[in-house]
Amino acid sequence: MGAVVTFNYPAWAARYPEFTGVDPTLVQAYFNEATIYCRNDGGGPVSTDAIQTTLLNMLTAHICQLNAAINGQDSSQIVGRINSASQGSVSVGTEMNLPGSAAWFAQTKYGVAYWQATAPYRTMRYMPGQQRQFDPWRSFGGGSWGNR
């Protein structure tokens, strides 16, 4: 029912050019890590290859931003969303007050985009079971209670 896709580094690098300096082998490892968070085995709720590829690419960029050096600069060691900053004598404040895993995704713009794009897949999906037929009169021989 779900989609299964493979990683395409040239397409990913074209969409996220800020990461072109990151080794493609490392980016492949980030994609593999992304499949831990976004199911890519054909059993997930995403039914088209295009959407599955887009979601996994967003998540790969998120993981890359959190871990890889970009343009010769190491990734930030700050954990959480920056909620305040000043310039004189440099000051930065962070927070992690989002519910559940949303806080982890909110650390980068790619994670926030992924979180928003996956909102329809995080809702409950009701799958009704088989309808049971219950006839109490048949259980007692077909007669009425008054005849017993």
Q: Supply the pTM of this predicted model.
A: 0.70
Give the angle subtended at the CA of 39 by the CAs of 34 and 42, to the nearest 5°: 135
Summarised one tens digit per residue, pLDDT across range 22-74 is 999 999 999 999 999 999 999 888 989 999 999 999 999 999 988 876 655 66
The confidence score (pLDDT) of residue 83 equals 66
Overall average pLDDT of the 82-93 stretch: 76
Q: For the range 34-41, what are the long-range contacts, defined as Cβ-Cβ under 8 Å and sequence gap of 24 or more?
A: 34/59, 34/60, 34/62, 34/63, 38/114, 38/118, 39/2, 40/3, 40/4, 40/5, 41/2, 41/4
Q: Enumerate the domain spans of the chain.
A: 9-131
Q: Residue 105 in contact with residue 61, Cβ under 8 Å? A: no
Q: For the chain, what is the mean pLDDT? A: 82
Q: What does the block give as tokens for 26?
A: 């490392």
Closest among 1, 24, 2 to 11, alpha carbons compared: 24
Output 44 or 99, whichever has higher pLDDT: 44
Output 58 or 75, whichever has higher pLDDT: 58
